[in-house]
Structure 1
Amino acid sequence: MAKFLPLHQASAGFIPLLRAYSGIRHRDTRQHPSGTATLGRIGPLEVRLARNSADVRQAQKLRYKVFYDEMSAIPDAATRLARRDVDGFDAVCDHLLVLDHDATTNVLGRQQPKVVGTYRLLRQCVATRHGGFYSAAEFDIGSLMRRHSTLNFLELGRSCVLKPYRNKRTVELLWHGIWAYVLRHDIDALIGCASLEGTDPDALALQLSFLHHHARAPEEWRASALPQRYVEMNRMPKEAIDAKAALHELPPLVKGYLRLGGYVGDGAVIDHQFGTTDVLIILPRTAISPRYIEHFGASANRHAA
């Protein structure tokens, strides 16, 4: 699965947050009842929030395995040495985990359930206290949020699943966990950056053009790529697009957001470090397809443990 947010750059307000890897500490949610409970379970797979720094490190190791070992991201020396995908945002985000209780890993000398899937969650109230949203490094989300100043936004990122677990059960548990989190924190809209593999927009013309013509956000929900990073998505006329072929080429994660009711913003951004081309996803809660809400339950009780 591709990353969902830009993974390498921070907005200016976040620069003071970036620390030496050994210095990052995640707040220990064992002190907070809302962070300790299981959000859902299917057989041996459980979804919950990270409870401590050890949990976050397991998520970072998984992200390294997927983004750097499997995909085309280029690690710097510190990342390669640590074999963890780490940045300063990890310290202020919540981390959603899927764990396999039938597979264990050694964590500080103890056998713990293996982390096989993760998402990183950044609420607007937290982002405001710490300098802003991560996606602001690629897209002008400030104008979007000013137009919806009464709404509560959530930024999703760092989505990945270990290869043997890329199936319906794992993805369903991740989305069940996100839906429970949305309800718990009264979230009105979700944002983030979905990635297409490759950095040549012409090679991605079918995917980008399909998204531009068939999934572009209505004006009130639209946000554009930053001018200095803007890449035109409208590379083919609408009548020349083979929609079936375009959907086949799109990453599963992008198709999943479209099925939920999500839109894409205006313009793409090339991420050379990660070898991807990013588009902004905007998913208002009111646009989420009713069948998905019914599937997970209005109170996220479908997979509640």
Structure 2
Amino acid sequence: MALLLGKGRYRARLAQSPQDVAAAQQLRTLAFGTDHTDQDAFDPVCAHILVEDMREGGQLVCCFRMLTMENGTEIARSYSAQYYDLSALQNFEGRMVEMGRFCIHPNWTDPDILRVAWGAMTAYVDQNGVEMLFGCSSFAGTETEDYLDAFAMLKHRHLAPKRWLPRVKAPNVFRFAARLRRKPDAKKAMLRMPPLLRTYLMMGGWVSDHAVVDRHMNTLHVFTGLEIGAIPPARKRLLRAVAG
């Protein structure tokens, strides 16, 4: 068993068998509310990380997958490249990992689960010499009106540097950076921000200037990037304390 992290009641490990991957797919199906098993062509080429509750007999409570690339020349094979023009990132010279299909069991609300998941991600990044983490961060539903303060906050504080900025590729997008003129209500914005995205942003992450309207998954999602070298030292110490 490739244990990445054990903290308190939770254990994070790499999937070791087809049965482990199937369990992750079942949790994703439950969490995303799809009417068919959540699986795709990316599953066989990803590392899958499972977070289990050891007080509940190893119940799977969180999972996500990691797709490793040697540098930006491989960015076109990422899941995100289906929805965003990522040609600017082809110039990134370091190792990259796409983090995807992140979900937590709907019956588990303990914030320690997210902490352990990020600790496991940190261990994976350190072990593999990763220099950029990226993926799609999803808002539930496809109604942009529900998240205007959150999108205004992303526009004002968290847009990608121009040298990495993803361009529009998907047919249905919400160009929040171009359209929104409002000043964000910070409290409302953070309340409506997905927890995973909130964590990315606290570490210095950035987003695309538009959201993709994904009716298949019933989500709005923004491309999210995080350069490992840009994580504030205090935040990095906290993550490594969890990962250690």
TM-score where L is the length of structure 2: 0.91
- How has the CA–CA distance of structure 1 residues 191 and 129 changed in structure 2, closer, same or farther, with 3 Å as cutoff? closer
Q: Secondary structure at the match of 1:163?
A: coil
Distance 1:120 1:87 in 2: 12
Of the three residues 233, 237, 254, the one matched with 2:181 is: 237
What is the alpha-carbon distance in structure 1 between the residues aligned to residue 87 and residue 215 of structure 2?
Answer: 24
Aligned counterparts of 2:193 and 2:108: Cα–Cα separation in 1: 20
Q: Distance in 1 between matches of 2:136 and 2:242?
A: 28
Task: Determine the C-alpha separation between the residues in 2 that align with 1:141 and 1:198.
Answer: 24
Matched, 1:43 2:8: yes
In structure 2, how many angstroms separate the alpha carbons of the residues matched to 1:214 and 1:41? 34
Supply the AA of the counterpart residue of 1:139.
Y
2:40 is aligned, of 87, 95, 99, to 87
Superposition pairs of residues 119-268 of structure 1, within 5 angstroms:
119-125=64-70, 132-146=77-91, 148=92, 150-226=93-169, 228-234=171-177, 235-238=179-182, 240-268=183-211
Structure 1 residue 66 corresponds to structure 2 residue 19: no
Query: Relative to 1, partners in 2 of residues 1:253 and 1:288: Cα closer, same or farther, differing over 3 Å?
Result: same
Unaligned runs of 5+ in 1: 1-35, 105-112
Q: State the one-letter code of the partner of 2:26.
A: K
Does the aligned pair in 2 maintain the 1:154–1:191 contact within 8 Å? yes
| Greater Cα shift, 179-188 or 208-217 | 208-217
Q: 1:227 to 1:161 in 2, by over 3 A?
A: closer
Q: Which residue of 2 aligns with 1:289?
A: 232
**What RMSD over aligned residues (CA atoms) do the two structures have, in Å?**
2.2
Structure number with greater CO (CA < 8 Å, separation at least 6) is: 1
Secondary structure of 2:196's counterpart equals helix
Residues 266-288 of structure 1 deviation map (CA, whole Å, 9 limit, x = unaligned): 21110001211111101011121
What pairs up with 1:268-287 in 2 under 5 angstroms?
A: 268-287=211-230
Specify the SS of the correspondent of 2:159. coil
Amino acid paired to 1:226:
K
Using the TM superposition, give the Cα deviation of residue 215 of structure 1 relative to its aligned residue in structure 2, in angstroms.
0.8
1:52 maps onto 2:5 in alignment: no
Determine the C-alpha separation between the residues in 2 that align with 1:225 and 1:178.
28
Letter in 1 for 2:52: L
- C-alpha distance after superposition, 1:155-180 (max 9, x if no partner): 00010111343322211111111001
Partner Cα distance (2:61, 2:142) in 1: 28
Instruction: Report the Cα offset of residue 114 of structure 1.
Output: 1.6
Q: Label 1:87 to 1:192 Cα distance change in 2 as closer, same or farther (>3 A).
A: same
- Separation of aligned partners in 2, 1:130 and 1:252: 25
How much does 1:199 deviate?
1.4
The alignment covers a number of residue pairs equal to: 243
Give the aligned residue type for 1:103.
E
> 1:139, CA displacement in angstroms?
0.8
Quick check: 2:2–2:16 contact (8 Å CA) kept in 1? no
Runs of 5+ consecutive residues of structure 2 not aligned to the other structure: none
Distance 1:289 1:127, change over 3 A: closer
Higher-Rg structure is 1
Match of 2:56 in 1: 103
User: Contact conserved, 1:206 with 1:236, CA < 8 A, in 2?
Assistant: no
Secondary structure of the corresponding residue to residue 220 of structure 1: coil
Residues 71, 94 of structure 2: 8 Å contact kept:
no
The answer to whether 1:114 aligns with 2:59 is yes
Match for 2:195: what amino acid? P
